[in-house]
Amino acid sequence: MTIEKARAFRVTGLDCAEEIAALRRELGPIVGGEARLGFDLLRGRMTVDAAARRIPDAAILDGVRRAGLAAEPWRTAGEERGGSGERLRRRRRLLTVLSGMAAAAGFLGHALLAGDLGAALGREGLGGELPVPLLARLFYAI
């Protein structure tokens, strides 16, 4: 079985050998033999060999229902309906960039308002009398 080209399904309730046997009984004849089926009990995952690609997903899902279980096409981590996984990655990237820019602006503002680079590097934390300017605190907080 070629895993790269195999179709995978998340099978709800797939947690014992009896369920695998029921799926093999129902799906084996549909996909061209039990050898074209693979199972991962820990993940609740069933794979169908690429050689059975002519069999529509609906027929496989129907066979799973006849075995008394429910299934859906397998989705990888981060992959969600409607492409929201990609939107989430873009949003995280944007927020990371904005956070870095705010930290840089806070550092620059701190150095300019305090009068020198040493103040922005933390000299006031060593017992000095220079407070962190409010504008710098706001940027650091972002």
Mean pLDDT of 94-112: 88
Q: Of 98, 118, 96, 97, nearest to 107 (Cα)?
A: 118
- Whether 128 shows a pLDDT value over 70: the answer reads no
Q: Which domains does the chain have, with CATH numbers?
A: 7-73 (3.30.70.100), 85-141 (no CATH)
Q: How far is CA 96 from CA 37, 81, 91, 109, 135, in A?
A: 43, 24, 9, 20, 20
> Per-residue pLDDT tens for 29-82?
999 999 999 999 999 999 999 888 889 999 999 999 999 999 999 987 655 555
DSSP 62: H
Q: Is the dihedral of CA 139, 140, 141, 142 positive or negative?
A: positive
Q: Of 139, 136, 138, 105, nearest to 122 (Cα)?
A: 136
Q: What's the pTM?
A: 0.53
Residue 105's pLDDT is: 87
